[in-house]
Amino acid sequence: MTPSLLQRVAAGEPGAVQGVLDQYGGLVWSLARRFSANQTDAEDAVQEIFLDVWKSAARFDPTVAGEATFVSMIARRRLIDRNRRSGRRPGAEAIHEGSAFDPPDAERAAQVSDDAGRAARAFKELSQEQQRVLRLSIFHGLSHEKISAATGLPLGTVKTHARRGLIRIREVLESDSVSAKETVS
């Protein structure tokens, strides 16, 4: 049986570390961006994660989990530890509730595509709470739990606002699409 990349790293095989970086760099980067406040933090986190992967490679057991799972779990744990250490909690001052859906000025209006305009109109039809929850989720990448903590809304209410808001946006966009096709024909 051919040894896995992580087993080759643990054995000190030349080029194995580069293989792990090539194979799992995208996965680790996407996790780091999701958990980090900015690009610099994400870059630092990626370095720490791969250092941990290198140090932990000898613990990898292919009979327990796949390499991607092993790397993901190390990344997840490291990112959670980093967030706990830095004491990051979304506060009112850290969350700007301004939106890309705010009406554009005259200069930008010419550049905004038709689809973006329809999406903005659909978004404006949502309740204030639905808009707020979706902004925090989409633009700030917060989980439902973090949105609940940041807004003081119960978790179930956050989930309901997100779900109903997305359903409403879809309905409005589908309605606009049908109207546009009827106008063309």
Per-residue pLDDT reduced to its tens digit, 41-60: 899 999 999 999 999 999 98
Does pLDDT of 100 surpass 80? no
Widest distance between CA atoms in the chain? 68
Helix axes 128-138, 114-124, angle to 10 degrees: 130
Q: What is the pLDDT of residue 183?
A: 62
Q: Could you tell me the CA-to-CA distances from 162 to 58, 112, 127, 140, 141 in Å, in that order?
A: 43, 25, 11, 14, 13
46 within 8 A of 29, measured Cβ to Cβ: yes
CA distance from start to end of the chain: 63
Token reading at 167: 């359903």
Domains, in order of start, for the chain = 5-86 (1.10.1740.10), 106-184 (1.10.10.10)
